[in-house]
Amino acid sequence: MKRFLKIYLEKPELAGAVLLVVLVVLFQLRSNGVFLSAENLRGMLGLLPEMGLVAIGVTVLMICGEFDLSVGSVFALMPMSVAIMLNADVPFAVAVLVGLAICALVGFINGFVTLRFAIPSFITTLGMLFMARSMTVVISGGFPPLLPADLPTWLFTRYVGPGGLIRMSFLWFGAIALLMAALLSLTNLGNWIKASGGFLEAAGAMGIPVNRVKITCFILSSMLAGFAGLVQVLRLGSPLPSIGDGLELQAVAAAVIGGTALTGGVGTVLGAIVGALLIRVIDNGLVLTQVDANWFKFAVGGLTIFAVIANSWLRRTARGIRVDQHA
Amino acid sequence: MTMPIIECRGLHKWYSGVHALKGVSLAITRGEIVGLVGDNGAGKSTLIKILSGVHRQNAGDVLIEGKPADIRTPKHAMRLGIETIYQYNATVPTMSIARNLFIGREPLQWSLFGIGLLDQARMRQESVKAIADVDLHLRSPDALVGELSGGQRQGVAIARGMHFKSKVFILDEPTNHLSVKETNKVIGFVKGLKTQGITGIFISHNMHHVFQSCDRVVAMARGEIVFDKPAADTSIDEVHDYL
């Protein structure tokens, strides 16, 4: 029994998951059952992949000990460049691949500059936040380009599943989340990511190519952010240069709520999803329970601080539980 | 005399104008535990950083079992059978014992371009055995290294080297920041190397630790070896006179 308690208390996403359940129950009661209705779930789950994908990328990067503040800007830059290519009659698939390659390049620059000049990634990606946003506005020419009408948007936006509960984008999100979770916990690269963030000197001394591991995570983070931006633009039907503004901090909040340590080495993909879902639940729940929506940021902020305190308390408690061999 | 397992011949190293190693030659035979002592800046760290692949010498040769070896990276040193136990401890506190044991050398079920699926069953099984082999009794290979004491962590690092059949252990002040009880445990590990026929180079500031565990004492000062005698034929006072 003690052993099980310890195992669960050590799960970094536990605090977030408990909060999620509490909030869902609370909103369900306060909204007289509307919150968990199929109609509302459709809306909520339809939006989740966009923020969830960004949170996963940011989480993996944080586990390996680095930050990415540029994800919000890349979220806008990627679909904007795709839209411009589409308007120049580039086929959809090619435009998307080139768009993802641009994201990969941004991620590579983030990582390369951070490691080559040994500066905090907080600074590098803060710079990239401004630069990528500026580029987005510049290439849009001030007027958001129109998307051609014959795009395979159904690949991302069509409702599927029982009762049309989820969008296609949710399937992409689920598949990517599973892939990333498997990468982290089942592969040697996942081991290296955790080791690089957990204790960089040890990872290097044991022969792990830490710089390559980190650059890989920077690239992943950028590509997931760009892909998420594309999903949102295809849902909205128009590439606005302002989308994703402030998303970088929400993604960090989601990661932290989900139990990712700011110091690196600790975190899970499930935690990132729990964090992202919590933020969506608050956003949606406040509206349904007729609370002034301006309280949204207040709630997310309070929750972030609370989750971190709860997590460190849980971890200390888990550590205090001594399990002997035969328990 | 049998062939030395590791030998340095005339090693020189300059760091931006500082002549850190001035022609160091040292031959160590299999199964020998050598205590390497000396003040800060005497060149001990430089010497072992060359042997563990962190730095490269500017002149001179390193031979492993008689064959010249150009040790380029820490990974390369490990492949040559040289395992280094660092004073800051090269384990990751946020990871489990089993995962720490195989960091950078994970057994894979399959792989593509070097990235692949971990063989976790094998990692757990073999880590249980490796830990028991160094007389360390831990409850589970899934426990986080961060929950272990400092001495136990060094034990995990030593078990790791043993598991990968390292021939030479370089122990870089492994007893720093440890309590007396934990220090004794680490000295026990060092003595255990000898019974398994493993060669050890034990770097320490503490002369007592060296005399407790080593066969031979080598002292360095100002980038040179100034003293080299079997531990049985010398005393702490004599070594001190040379430093």
Distances (CA, A) of A312 to A257, A275, B14: 12, 16, 46
Scanning B45-84 for CB atoms below 8 A from A yields: 54, 73-75, 78, 84
* pLDDT bucket at A59, cuts 50 / 70 / 90: very high
| Helix, strand, coil percentages in chain B from 3-state DSSP, rounded to 5 | 35, 30, 35
Dihedral of the alpha carbons of B144, B149, B153, B159, in degrees to the nearest 10: -100
Q: Label residue A164 left, alpha or beta by phi (over 0 means left) and psi (-120 to 50 means alpha).
A: left
A65 near B CB under 8 A: no
Q: Considering its fold, how many domains does chain B have in total? A: 1
Would you say residue B201 has pLDDT above 70?
yes
CA dist A69 and B82 (Å) reads 41
Residue B39 lies in a domain: yes
Please give the Cα distance from A54 to A220 (Å, whole number). Answer: 10
**Cross-chain residue pair B94–A198, CB shorter than 8 Å:** yes
- The reply to whether A205 touches chain B by the CB within 8 Å rule is yes
Does residue B131 lie within any of the structural domains?
A: no
In a domain, B78, yes or no: yes
Query: For B147, which DSSP code?
Result: G
| Residue among A6, A9, A183, A191 with most chain B CBs within 10 A, to mutate | A191
Tell me if A224 sits within 8 A of A72, measured CB to CB: no
Contact assignment for A191 to B99 by CB distance below 8 Å: yes
Number of residue pairs across A and B with CB atoms under 8 Å?
85
Which value does ipTM take for this structure?
A: 0.82
CA distance A294 to A60: 30
Indicate whether B84 belongs to any domain. Answer: yes
Domains of chain A: 2-320 (1.10.3470)
Closest CA to B145 of A214, A207, A198: A198
Residues A213-270 pLDDT 10s: 999 999 999 999 999 999 999 999 889 999 999 999 999 999 999 999 888 999 999 9
pLDDT given at position A314:
83
pLDDT at A101: 98
Q: How far is A74 from chain B (nearest CA, A)?
A: 27
Contacts of B78 in chain A (CB under 8 A): 206-207
Q: Tell whether the torsion through CA atoms of B190, B191, B195 and B201 is positive or negative.
A: positive
**pLDDT tens-place string over residues B39-48:** 888 888 889 9
- pLDDT at position B164 is 87
**Chain B contact for A127 (CB, 8 A cutoff):** no
Report the distance separating Cα B17 and Cα B19, nearest Å.
6
Residue A142 touches chain B, beta carbons under 8 Å: no
Facing B94 at nearest CB: one of A186, A265, A324:
A265
Is a pLDDT exceeding 90 seen at residue A52? yes
Compute the distance between CA of residue B18 and CA of residue A49 in angstroms, rounded to an integer.
57
Beta-bridge partners for B37? B219
DSSP, res B72: -
pLDDT, average across residues A200-206:
88
What pLDDT was estimated at residue A215?
97
CA distance B130 to chain A (A): 17
pLDDT number for residue B241: 81
Angle between helices A210-236 and A168-186 (to 10 degrees): 170
Distance from CA of A71 to the nearest CA of B (A): 26
**Helical segments of chain A, H only:** 2-10, 14-30, 38-63, 71-87, 92-116, 121-140, 154-157, 168-186, 188-198, 200-205, 210-236, 247-257, 269-288, 296-320
Give me the residue label for tokens 């001394």: A205
Mutate to test the interface with A, among B76, B80, B92, B99 (most CBs of A within 10 A): B92
* A120 Rama class: left (phi>0) / alpha (psi -120 to 50) / beta: beta
Helix (H) or strand (E) segment spanning residue B28: strand B18-28
Report pLDDT digits (tens) over A159-181.
887 878 888 999 999 999 999 99
Q: For B87-116, what is the mean pLDDT?
A: 89
From first CA to last CA, the distance across chain B in angstroms is 29
Contacts of B120 in chain A (CB under 8 A): 186
Inter-chain CB proximity B104 and A202 less than 8 Å: no
In a domain, B65, yes or no: yes
Q: Which candidate, B57, B65, B55, B59, places its Cα nearest to that of B7?
A: B65
Among the partner-chain residues B84, B86, B106, the one whose CB lies closest to the CB of A188 is B106
Q: In the prediction, which pLDDT does A189 show?
A: 95
List Cβ neighbours of A229 (8 Å cut-off, separation of 6 or more). A50, A74, A75, A76, A77, A78, A79, A243, A244
HSE-CB of A176 using CA atoms within 13 angstroms: 24
Closest CA relative to residue B96, chosen from B128, B62, B69, B48: B128
Of B103, B111, B120, the CB nearest to A208: B103
Rounded distance between C-alpha atoms, residue A313 and residue B142, angstroms: 21
pLDDT category at A127 given cuts 50, 70, 90 is very high
Q: What is the pLDDT of residue A323?
A: 57
The per-residue pLDDT of chain A, averaged, comes to 90
The answer, for B107 touching chain A at a CB cutoff of 8 Å, is no
Q: Which residues on chain A are in Cβ contact (under 8 Å) with B99?
A: 191, 194
Chain B residues near residue A262 by CB distance under 8 angstroms:
none
Contact status of B87 with chain A (Cβ, < 8 Å): no
Query: What is the residue range of B212's domain?
Result: 6-89+150-242
- Count of beta carbons in the 10 Å neighbourhood of residue B52: 24
Query: Which of B94, B99, B104 is closest, CB to CB, to A208?
Result: B104
Q: What is the CATH number of the domain that holds B209?
A: 3.40.50.300
> Taking a C-beta distance cutoff of 8 angstroms, is the pair A78, A107 a contact?
no
**Euclidean distance between the first and final Cα of chain A, in Å?**
8
CA pair distance B64, B5, nearest whole angstrom: 6
Sheet of strand B67-68: strand arrangement: B18-28, B6-15, B59-64, B67-68
| Contact assignment for A194 to B92 by CB distance below 8 Å | yes
Alpha carbon of A182: minimum distance to chain B alpha carbons (Å)? 9
**Measured at the alpha carbon of residue B50, what is the angle toward residues B49 and B51, in degrees to the nearest 5?**
90
pLDDT for residue A327 is more than 60: no
Rounded to whole angstroms, the Cα distance separating B210 from B238 reads: 14
Residue B137 covered by a domain: no
Q: How many Cβ atoms sit within 10 Å of the Cβ of residue A142? A: 7
Rounded Cα gap, residues A244 and A232, in angstroms: 9
Q: What torsion do the CA atoms of A97, A103, A105, A108 make, to the nearest 10 degrees? A: -130
**Does B118 reside within a domain?**
no
Residue A302 distance to chain B (closest CA, Å): 27
A298-302: average pLDDT:
90
Fill in the DSSP letter of residue B2.
P
**Closest chain B CA to residue A323:** B139
Which two tokens mark B185? 């445990």
pLDDT at site A1: 64
What does the block give as tokens for A93?
A: 């698939």
Q: CA quadruple A150, A147, A170, A264: dihedral positive or negative?
A: positive
Q: Let me know if residue B175 belongs to a domain.
A: yes
Q: Once rounded to an integer, what is the mean pLDDT over residues B137-156?
A: 85
Compute the nearest-CA separation of B146 from chain A (Å): 10
The encoded tokens of residue B63 equal 């031979």
Amino acid identity for residue B49 in this structure: K
